[in-house]
Structure formats: C-alpha cells, structure tokens
Structure 1
Amino acid sequence: MYIKTVWESFNKKYKIIKKHHTYRAQPELCSVKEKRARKQNGTTLTQDEINARLRSERTEKLLLENFEAGDCYLTCTYKETPEGPEAVKNDWKNFRDRLKRLFKRIGQKFKYVYILENLYGGGRPHGHILIPAIPREAVKKIKHLWPYGNVEIKAYGGEVLDAHRLAKYFTKEKVYKNSSTIQSSRNLIRSGEKKKLITRSETFDERMTAPQGYHIVDELSYSGYTEEGYPIVKIFLEKDEDNDRKRLFAANNFLEKTKFKYAVGPSGGGGKRSR
C-alpha cells in the first residue's frame, strides 16, 4: 500500500499527483518491500530546508490559481534608507490600502501576494507585490501611491515555470531569512489537497503518464525520495490548450494598456530576472 495525494486547481487547469510510501504505508510482499525500502544512505534535509520547500509549494499553488499572464509585478524601492522594519511594514500597509482604493475606484477586484526583503539586513529594504492587471491610466497612478522611492512595473509571465520561479525566489533561504513572511490577500483561491491510502496495490507505478486532455510538465515532475527516505513520484500536469496564443494575447493586451516592457519572470530587486 502507499499514499496518493492529489491537488487540483479550482479551474482544473493544473494537477499535482504525488505517490509515495511511508513508515505505515509499505508493501507487504517481501520482494516488493525490499525494492521500496527506505533509503538508508543519502543527504538528509534539514528542517529549514523542508520548511522552505513546503513554503515554495504553497506559494506556487497560490500563484497558479490566482494570477495570469499580463498581471502586474511591482518592485518598490526606497530612495532613502527607512528607519527600521516597523517603518517599512507601516509604509507597505499604507501602500496596500492605497492600491485597494485605486482598484475600488476602477471597479476591479484587488488581490495580492507580496514579500518585503532585507527587513533585517542584507541590503536596503524593498518589496515585491503581484497584483491583477489594470488599465494604463490606472497603472500610471501606481507610482504616485509609493512616495518613498521608485516603482518598477513588469508584466507577469503567467506560465507554470514563472509561478515556480517566483515562488522559489520568495522562499529561498538568503531572501527569506532577512524578509517578512509572504503575505497574501484573504480573497485568494486556496484549493486543498486530497490524500488517500491506496490498499488495493502493493506499490505504485513509477511510470509517468498524463490523462487525456493533460500533459506532463517535465521540469516539475520527478521520481526520488521523501524527506524520510521513502520512494516518491511527483507528476505535475497542465491542461492542454493553446497556451502560447493565450499568453501572447494577455501580454500584448497589457502592453497596449501600459506601454511597459514585457518580462517573462520576476525581478529580483535589482531589475534582474530571478533564478
């Protein structure tokens, strides 16, 4: 027997399937149990590394479910060094409130995911926030809502790997240890996982296959071991559709409204694409 976990986005565009063994969910046949035994020798992840991976996965799902190509990715910097972490947090609270009022005036739903970097060292504080796309005239007003320095505005790529890279950037150790926790609006969709104990089979099939209407995202799918050392297969599925055409339309629509440069990935605080 084994554990099967399935996460499906609200719009059914994405699915993440994990199949793995645990201490309590193992094959009963000795011949199979030996092949699926816990790996004794290998690199053991620290608790901090495990927590970072879980944060990244949660953030990735939030981005996939709630944001799309052409949304606005803002990097807000300070002209002068702020007095301290509490001053930065207060500035961002005011900025967020101003953005909320702006969205209300133009009749759009306001939602966000943001993180404040370098609150506790590592460089001058700044923040990144992802919000829905808005008309050009409204975009122009955003820079006036942040009176403390510069605002860089880029179009969010909206593809699977864009969400993955941005989530990894927000949660990587050298960023996260000096930053605030990732903040998100309460109105975001948060689909939960469904976990099931599979008892009808001794073990799982390691082959990765996609159901009809979906394809496997190879870069995010793998076969390996869990933190406890047990075998695991993770399959990341994306619904088949004309993604290139849809992405290009959304990005061009954003450009037509804003005239800002289109960027596939996020900025890392200094105008560079995150890695």
Structure 2
Amino acid sequence: MAYMQKKWVSHDKRFIVVDKYHSVRAMPKNESARERRRPKKQITSEQQEKINLRHRTERFQRLIMDNFKEGDWWVAFTLVEKVSVAEFKKAYGKMIRSLRKFYEEHGMDIKYIAVQENLEGRGRLHGHILLPSIPGVDFGKMKRALSNAWALGNTYFKPYEGQTMDARKVAAYMTKEETLINTLNEKMQVKRAGGNTKALDAELKAKRSRICTSLNLVRTKEVKTLVPRGSFRKEIKAPKGYHVVWPLSYNGNTDDNFDYQHAVFERDDDYPQNPQGRSNL
C-alpha cells in the first residue's frame, strides 16, 4: 500500500530524520488495509497544544543540528538587579550588535539562537544564547566579549557537545517543553474534576519563552514524497554508516489513526574516515 515519506537531512549529512505515514493522499485501496485504521479519538485542546509543543521542539532541534557543532557555546546571561522588560530587551539588542561586531572582527558572521525567559512570569528575567565558536579565539577572550556585550549582569558558559540528544535537550529547554507539558497535564486533571483553570492558564502564559534567531541560519528543508507501492515496516533500521537515536525514534498513529513512524539517525563518528567500519545498529 502507498505511504508518504518526509525526509530531512542536515546540510552536513550528519543527521537524518525520516517520517513515514499513511494519509488521505496515500489512502490504501485494499479494504483489509483500510480496516487497520483505528477509531479516531477526540483530541482536547490541551492534547493538541502538547502535540504542537513537541513539533515546535523538533523544529528547533533540527535548526540547532543544521547550524551548531561540538565546541560551540551555550551561554546564560543574567541580571544583577531587577529591570523592566523594556530595559531587558534593549540590553539584549545592544548585546547582539556588540557580538556581531566582535564576530566580524574575527572574519565571521554571527549566527545564534537565543531564548528570553520570564518576560511575563514572576521569576527574574534572564536568557540563553547558542553561539558558534571562533577559530583561534579561546574561552577567556570569548568570555570577555560576552561580558562586555551584556551590560546588566553576568554570563555563564557551557560547551555545546553537538550530538543529537544535546540538540534535543537545548531545544526542549528553549521551548520549555517539559515544564509546559506538566502544567498542561495538571490543567487536564483540573478540567476533568470540574475545577477552574484560570490560574493554570495564567501560569502557562507566564512560563512560555521567547525564542529569537539570526536571519542567516541554515534552514534545510525536508523532502516529501509519495511512495506508491509497498508499506513501511515497523522495524527501524539505520542507513549504512548511521545509527538509530532510539530515545527519539518511535512508531505511533496519525490524526487519521493510520500507522506512523518517526526515525532519527546520527552518523557514526568514525564513518567519514572509515566507511567500512561499523555495521548498522
């Protein structure tokens, strides 16, 4: 039976994400195959929001994998004293302009993904930014550049490790995936019990973060094709030279309750140098 395939390959070919699924366009003609479709279930607004949140995290995960590598910097910038949101945003703009100049002085265009937190919440304003490393610029010089660029407080550096799960963790932190899902689950429980969810709605609004990106990021597009014959197997097998990222790969069902598969692959570390090295996992 026919099925749809969406395939995304990072620009450096290190990561592959493949989605396989049946849809109305690829509706099975065989009656017995149609009967595999499970009864459609009603989806609540909270469940849909969780689905949208997962998709948003996956989009940022791919954006990170397309643009950042091991040795780049994951930086937090904090406040020494409380300031208004307007002052915080103004200082953020100055920081980006200062960093852009710093990168240009070292022969690079700055690219970044940043998140601003607690813009509407009760916590203290702060942010994080993912930045590329600069050849020949050590940690000390990078730290001084950030400290000079961010005028309202301190900066804290962590090296970005560059693997698939690192990209996922950073993306999930930026979107506040776990925090928001926990609050959405709590809201669903309160609704089922007939309670008032007004406070939880306000909490959801406060917990959402603002993500900012530079315009020059590489944004590799996925390729969508109709596979006219055959059906995909539930077994997930990596292409030669890659391994399956099992925590992010799974089988499920589409909104129309047909089989669905999401598979994430990462190139084996020794594959470019030793194509005959490891077998598929």
> Which bracket does the TM-score occupy, shorter chain normalised?
0.7 to 0.9
Q: 1:167 to 1:228 in 2, by over 3 A?
A: farther
Deviation at 1:215, TM superposition (A): 1.5
Mapping of residues 191-202 of structure 1, within 5 Å: 191-201=220-230
Q: CA RMSD in A?
A: 2.1
Deviation at 1:15, TM superposition (A): 0.8
- Aligned to 1:182, the other structure's residue is in SS state strand
CA distance in 2, matches of 1:32, 1:223: 17
Extract unaligned runs of 5+ from structure 2: 181-203, 272-281
- Select the residue among 137, 149, 152 that pairs with 1:148: 152
Q: Which runs of 4+ in 1 moved over 4 A?
A: 41-45, 173-176
User: Match of 2:104?
Assistant: 104
Letter in 1 for 2:235: R
Asked if 1 retains the 8 angstrom alpha-carbon contact of 2:117 and 2:210, the reply is: no
Asked if 2 retains the 8 angstrom alpha-carbon contact of 1:50 and 1:227, the reply is: no
CA distance in 2, matches of 1:153, 1:76: 9
CA distance in 1, matches of 2:172, 2:256: 22
User: Match of 1:168?
Assistant: 172
User: Match of 1:222?
Assistant: 250
Deviation at 1:86, TM superposition (A): 2.5
Letter in 1 for 2:16: K
Identical-residue share of aligned pairs (%): 35
Asked if 1 retains the 8 angstrom alpha-carbon contact of 2:111 and 2:216, the reply is: yes
- Select the residue among 225, 246, 268 that pairs with 1:240: 268
User: Match of 2:29?
Assistant: 28
CA distance in 2, matches of 1:18, 1:170: 24
Deviation at 1:47, TM superposition (A): 3.2
Mapping of residues 89-100 of structure 1, within 5 Å: 89-100=89-100
- Aligned to 1:211, the other structure's residue is in SS state coil
- Aligned to 1:6, the other structure's residue is in SS state strand
User: Match of 1:204?
Assistant: 232
Q: 1:39 to 1:12 in 2, by over 3 A?
A: farther
User: Match of 2:186?
Assistant: none
Q: 1:166 to 1:221 in 2, by over 3 A?
A: same
Mapping of residues 116-127 of structure 1, within 5 Å: 116-127=116-127
Matched, 1:19 2:24: no
Deviation at 1:143, TM superposition (A): 1.1
User: Match of 1:80?
Assistant: 81
CA distance in 2, matches of 1:215, 1:39: 34
- Aligned to 1:153, the other structure's residue is in SS state strand
CA distance in 2, matches of 1:161, 1:194: 23
User: Match of 1:272?
Assistant: none
Mapping of residues 34-49 of structure 1, within 5 Å: 34-35=35-36, 37-41=37-41, 46-49=47-50
TM-score (normalizing by structure 2): 0.79
CA distance in 2, matches of 1:61, 1:75: 21
CA deviations on 1:192-251 (whole Å, 9 max, x unpaired) are 0111122223x32222112212211111110112344332011111122239xxxxxxxx
CA distance in 1, matches of 2:110, 2:60: 18
Q: 1:228 to 1:77 in 2, by over 3 A?
A: farther
CA deviations on 1:32-57 (whole Å, 9 max, x unpaired) are 2222x034358666332232122111
Letter in 1 for 2:250: Y
Asked if 1 retains the 8 angstrom alpha-carbon contact of 2:174 and 2:209, the reply is: no
Q: 1:164 to 1:148 in 2, by over 3 A?
A: same
User: Match of 2:67?
Assistant: 66
Letter in 2 for 1:150: N
Asked if 1 retains the 8 angstrom alpha-carbon contact of 2:91 and 2:151, the reply is: no
CA distance in 2, matches of 1:18, 1:141: 42
Deviation at 1:157, TM superposition (A): 1.5
